Amino acid sequence: MRKLLKVIIVEITLMPVFAFSQTSRNFISVGYSSICYGTPSEKPVMDFIKNFEKKNKLKPFEMFVEHGLGKEGEHAFYIGTDNLNTKLLKSFFNGLKITASNQNKKHSKNGDGFVNVDDKLTPNSTLKSIKANPRTRISSLETYDYKK
């Protein structure tokens, strides 16, 4: 009976670790900041991702969203890159940067914020750390379905 109880306790404590296990080792981070009236639309970046995936006949990207990074809806997306070879990764990365840059050029000067594509890949360990220790009191990291 004691062994069974120990096994149950161990399983319960390890469950959150297995429930949030990413398959990708590296992620591209796309952050959405705010100036005054909230964050910019996600649509241009999500459309780019969907089109890139379709054009290159790729499996769906593994993607996470981190909510609660600020009072005006600031958030970040993490896009898994393990299904991309070196050439496709470079093309995808550059395309995301161009999409974000174009969107930033069109934003209203006193309104919404900016889209920021991080220059370095984010390792899986960073996402696990964010999940275990959220960056703010209200932040959370969860799987994101960009196909909707």
Q: What digits encode the pLDDT tens for the residues 80-110?
A: 999 999 999 999 999 999 999 999 998 766 6
Residue listed under structure tokens 């964010």? 130
Contacts of residue 50, defined as CB under 8 A and 6 or more positions apart, other chains included, come to 146, 147
Among 64, 86, 67, CA closest to 77:
64
**Mean of pLDDT values over 52-80:** 92
Indicate the pTM of the whole model: 0.80
pLDDT in tens, 48-63: 999 999 999 999 999 9
CA–CA gap between residue 103 and residue 41 (Å, rounded): 9
Residues 6+ apart with CB under 8 A from 20: 128, 131, 141
Identify whether the C-beta of residue 127 lies closer than 8 Å to the C-beta of residue 140. Answer: no
pLDDT, position 33: 92
Closest to 115 in 3D by CA, of 34, 14, 49, 9? 34
More confident site: 138 or 13: 138
Over its C-alpha atoms, the chain yields an Rg (Å, rounded) of: 18
Average pLDDT over the chain reads: 83
Contacts of 122 (CB under 8 A, 6+ apart): 26, 27, 28, 29, 78
Domains of the chain plus CATH, in order, are 22-143 (3.30.70)
Q: Is the pLDDT of residue 30 over 90?
A: yes
